[in-house]
Amino acid sequence: MAYEIGPGLGSDTVAGKLDGELVAKEEPVYDGARIEIVTPSADEYLQVMRHSAAHVLAQAILREFPDAKLATGPPTEEGFYYDFDGIDVDEGDFDELVAEMQSIVDEDLPIEREEVSIEEARERLAGDTYKEEILEDLAAGDRGADDDIETVSFYSQGDFSDLCAGPHVASTGEIGAIDLREIAATNWRGDEDEARLTRVYGTAFGSESDLEDYWERKQEAERRDHRRIGREMNLFSIPEHSPGCVHFHPDGMAIRRELEDYIRAKNDELGYEEVWTPELNKVDLWKTSGHYEHFCEEDEMFHWDQASARTEGDEADEYGLKPMNCANHVHLYQRERRSYRELPKRYCEFGTCYRNERSGELSGMLRVRGFTQDDGHAFVTRDQIQGEVTRTLEVIDEVLADFGLDVTFKLETQPDDSFGDDALWERAESDLRSSLDALGEGYEVEAGEGAFYGPKIAADAEDAIGREWTVGTVQLDFVQPDRFDLVYVGEDNEEHTPVMIHRALLGTFERFMAVMIEHFAGRFPLWLAPEQVRVLPVNEDTLGYAHRLRNDFEESGFRATVADGDDTLQRRIRAAHDENVPYMLIVGPDEEESGTVSVRDRAERETRDVDPEDFLAHLRTERDEKRLEPDFLDE
C-alpha cells in the first residue's frame, strides 16, 4: 500500500496500523480496513524501536546465560521488558549487560522477518518451554489469535532468533540510545501458580539526549512519589492486614473531605441527588448487570457462598462485594414507575467498591483493591444524551482546571468483550462524538478501549511533569437498561427504555489523591493543604496570643496549629517549610502589643505588621477561588 502511494513512502515504511493495531509492515490488508503507515517520523516509531531493543536485551542475556529460557518481551509506555527463566542477575550486573547490548547495537545487525509453518516452528522451538506454549496457543486460536492460523513469524538478528509478530526496525543500529532500568520478579502469564520468572526492564530512545531527559524526568517522578510523600506528611498507610486498601490518617482525611465537599457542590450544579448503597449484595444483581460474568472470568470480583446456621433458606446464597455502583443505582431507578417528565433522573454516590487486583499489580493509592468513586448515573431519554454528556464534560474540564491540570478527552470505542447489539454501540459512539464536537476542544480515539457495556469518554489529565493520568470518565450505556428492563412512560403514553450515563468527575478518591500528591509534590494549594496556617510564637510570653490567633483562624474555617515546642524559632520555621505549610504567622511581644502578625509563606517570603483581619480576608479569597499557590505576599 505504501509503495502504491509512492516509492519514497514505501522505502520509509517501518510498520503499519491496521484498524488501530500496530502491525508489521508485511501484514496483509483487506478491503474496508482503516490503515495508517508508520515511518520514522511517526509517534509509533519509538514503540517499534523499543520492541527491537527488547530483542537486543534477550540476545545479550543469551550471550551471558546460554541456558536461559525466554518468555515474552514487549515494548511498554516507558521502554520495554523481557521475562527470563534460568538467570541470576541483579542491578549490579547492569553495566556489563548494557555494554553487551551496546555492542549488539554497534554491530548494526539486520533484523529479518521469516514466515514459517506451524510444524517447522514446533521443530525450531523444541524444548523451549515458554515459546512452545505461546506457539500452541497461536495454533489453537487462543489469546486473540485467528483460529485458522497456518504460519507464524520469526525475527532474526545475527545469532539470535525469536518467535515474534513484530513489528521491528530494520537493524539493531537504528536504536539510538539504550539502557536498563530495574529488575522485578513475576510469574509466567501473571499466574501466581505458574513458574517464577525474572523481569528485566529497559528503555530506549532515538538519541542520548532523549535518554538523559528521560532519566531526569524519572528522578523527578521519584522525588514526587506519593508513597514517599504520604509517609513523610503522614497522610495515609496501606498495612499488611489490609492489602490494597487505604487507611486515611487525619491529615489525609482533611484533603479527602475537601475533595468530597468540592465534588458535592459540582453534583448539586449538575442536578444529582446523593444516595448511599451497600457494598454487600447477592451476586444475582451482578449476573443481571453482566458484571459477574465480566469480572469473575478473570477472578477480579470478591464473592463467596454463604451457607451457615445464620443464613438458612433463601439467604444461603452467593454474595459479593460490589465491583461497581451502577447496578445498585439501577435498583433505585426501578423502584417507581417513571415518566418522561422526571428525566433526566440523576443519582450520585461516594460509593466504595472492591476489585481483586493481583498483588504484584498493587501500587500505593494508584492501584488498589478497595476504592471510593465519585460516581454518578443519569437516566435519560435519547434526545437528552448530547446535552447531558456535553454539560458533564464542561464540568470535568472546569474541575481539572481548578487543580492546574490540562485535559485531553479520549473516545474509547467498542471492545472485543462487549455486550449488546453492534447497532446500539454505533448509536452510542455517534452520540458521544456529537457531544465532543459540541465541546469544541478536539479529542483522540482509542479503538477497542471502551467498557463492556458501552463506549466512554476518558478525561486524561497532564500533571506538572508531563505525565498523563485518566481521571474523569463519561460512559454511555444502552446495555444495562435493557438487561434490567428499565422503562419510562413517554409523552405518547407508551413505555420506552431509558439510556444510562455513567460518569465520574475525579474517578476514585484514592487514585486522584495520589495524582494530586505527585502533581503538587506535597505542596498543596491552600484550600487542599491539611495544615493551612501555623502560628509560631517567638517565646513563651507570646504563647497565649498565638493560641488566640489560632482559635480565630479555626473559627473562620481554617486548619491552623501552634508550634510551641522547645526548638529554636529558626528550626520551627524550617520544619514548617519542610512540611509544606502554606503560611506561617510569627508573633513576638511587638506583634502582640500592636495586634499584628508577621506573615511568612513556604516560598520563604516574609512581611511584617499585618492586620490579622486583612490576612484572614485574603485567605478566604485564596481558598474560595481555588488559587494554586499562596499569593498573599504577591500583593
Q: Where are the domains of the chain?
A: 1-41, 42-218, 247-520, 526-625
The model carries a pTM of: 0.82
Query: Is 377 annotated for ligand binding?
Result: yes
Cis peptide before 239 (omega within 30 of 0): no
Is 375 a residue of the active site? yes
Q: Which residue in the list 179, 251, 374, 375 is annotated as catalytic?
A: 375
Q: What is the pLDDT of residue 147?
A: 54
User: Would strands 597-601 and 606-610 be described as parallel, antiparallel, or unpaired?
Assistant: antiparallel
Q: Which CATH class is domain 247-520?
A: alpha beta
Is 572 a residue of the active site? no
Is 322 a residue of the active site? no
Instruction: Write the DSSP string, 181-249.
Output: EEEEEEEGGG-TTS-EEEEEEEEEESSHHHHHHHHHHHHHHHHT-HHHHHHHTT-EE--TTSTT-PEEP
Q: Which residue in the list 50, 456, 496, 511 is annotated as catalytic?
A: 456
Place of cell 511517526: 42
The side-by-side arrangement of strands in the sheet containing 196-205 is 69-70, 80-85, 196-205, 177-187
Q: Is the pLDDT of residue 144 over 50?
A: no
Greater confidence, 308 or 240?
Answer: 240
Is 627 a residue of the active site? no
Is 326 a residue of the active site? yes
Question: Predicted confidence band at 316 (pLDDT cuts at 50, 70, 90)?
Answer: low
Topology adopted by domain 42-218: Threonyl-tRNA Synthetase; Chain A, domain 2 (3.30.980)
Q: Which residue in the list 47, 59, 157, 373 is annotated as catalytic?
A: 373
Question: Predicted confidence band at 204 (pLDDT cuts at 50, 70, 90)?
Answer: very high
Q: What is the pLDDT of residue 635?
A: 63
Is 600 a residue of the active site? no
Task: Quote the cell numbers at residue 469.
Answer: 493520568
Q: By the 8 A CB rule, do 546 and 410 touch?
A: no
The string of pLDDT tens digits covering residues 425-456 is 888 899 899 889 988 878 999 888 888 778 99
Q: By the 8 A CB rule, do 221 and 235 touch?
A: no
Q: Which residue in the list 25, 502, 602, 618 is annotated as catalytic?
A: 502
Query: Is 296 annotated for ligand binding?
Result: no
Query: Is 294 annotated for ligand binding?
Result: no
Is 147 a residue of the active site? no
The string of pLDDT tens digits covering residues 184-201 is 999 998 888 899 999 999
Q: Which residue in the list 51, 55, 355, 496 is annotated as catalytic?
A: 355
The string of pLDDT tens digits covering residues 267-278 is 999 999 999 999
Question: Predicted confidence band at 145 (pLDDT cuts at 50, 70, 90)?
Answer: very low
d(CA 196, CA 189): 10
Question: To which CATH superfamily is domain 526-625 assigned?
Answer: Anticodon-binding domain (3.40.50.800)
Q: Which residue in the list 377, 511, 534, 602 is annotated as catalytic?
A: 377
Average pLDDT over residues 162-173: 94
Which of 77-91, 461-475, 548-562 shows the lowest per-residue confidence on average (mean pLDDT)? 461-475
